[in-house]
């Protein structure tokens, strides 16, 4: 079992990193292999809806998105952490996820997803909601915890003082480990759910 952790904060060792490392350490204690990748300080172009990924099987912009894509395909799950900027995830994290999910043609059904929001005070629930939408549109179960997955802190290192937030991260990791292990057993016996051909409609017709 392997889980990919994505740090969408511009600060490599900031409060988002503290939250994700709490998840990472607990996953590894549960026997799950992990890899933590920092993308928040990269120059990541937003999606331009060019459609080239449908032809090439990868994004037209050759950057960290294409580097992470095969790791995502090989992983059993993904945890995405991002700080709150104006009640939403940091822009670089959104650009990364838009392109990663749009440009990767592989089936993501039953990979487990989890979102982590880090903020000073407000906006965590809205950010959590934005991040989870990438998973739910892709047939990915969302790992639960004991509360919404948020950790609080402003100055670097303050997240380590949020005892409840860090406990929420540990609970999330244990639940995620259980899910990926259970899904692996289910795949052996039942495979993955059958997918119908997409019936795509627009509001004007």
2-56 residue pLDDT tens: 999 999 999 999 999 999 999 999 999 999 999 999 999 999 999 999 999 999 9
Closest CA to 128 of 86, 84, 159: 84
Give the pTM.
0.95
Which conformational region is residue 20 in: left (phi greater than 0), alpha (psi within -120 to 50 degrees), or beta? alpha
Residue 203: predicted pLDDT: 83
Tens digits of per-residue pLDDT, 156-169? 999 999 999 999 99
Q: Which of 154, 128, 166 is nearest to 18 (CA)?
A: 166
Share of the chain above pLDDT 90, in %: 96
- Mean pLDDT, all residues of the chain: 96
Q: Rounded to whole angstroms, how far apart are CA atoms 174 and 160?
A: 19
CA–CA distance, 122 with 127 (Å, rounded to integer): 10
Q: How far apart are CA 17 and CA 39, in angstroms?
A: 12
What's the CA gap between 144 and 73, in Å, rounded?
22
Phi–psi pair at 45, nearest 5 degrees: -70, 145
**Structural contact between residues 47 and 102, judged by C-beta atoms closer than 8 angstroms:** yes
| Whether pLDDT at 84 is above 80 | yes
């Amino acid at each position: 079992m392997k889980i990919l952790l994505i740090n969408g904060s511009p600060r490599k060792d900031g409060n988002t990193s503290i939250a994700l490392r709490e998840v990472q350490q607990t996953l590894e204690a549960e026997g799950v292999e992990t890899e933590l990748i920092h993308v928040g300080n990269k120059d990541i172009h937003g999606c331009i809806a060019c459609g080239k990924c449908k032809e090439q099987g990868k994004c037209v912009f050759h950057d960290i998105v294409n580097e992470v894509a095969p790791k995502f395909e090989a992983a059993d799950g993904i945890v995405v952490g991002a700080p709150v900027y104006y009640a939403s995830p940091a822009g670089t994290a959104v650009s990364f996820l838009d392109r990663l999910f749009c440009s990767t043609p592989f089936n993501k059904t039953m990979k487990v997803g989890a979102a982590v929001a880090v903020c000073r005070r407000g906006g965590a629930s809205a950010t959590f909601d934005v991040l989870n939408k990438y998973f739910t549109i892709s047939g990915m179960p969302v790992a639960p915890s004991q509360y919404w997955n948020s950790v609080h802190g402003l100055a670097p290192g303050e997240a380590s003082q949020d005892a409840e937030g860090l406990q929420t991260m540990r609970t999330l990791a244990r639940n995620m480990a259980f899910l990926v292990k259970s899904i692996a057993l289910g795949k052996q016996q039942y495979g993955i759910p059958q997918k119908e051909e997409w019936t795509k409609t627009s509001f004007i017709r």
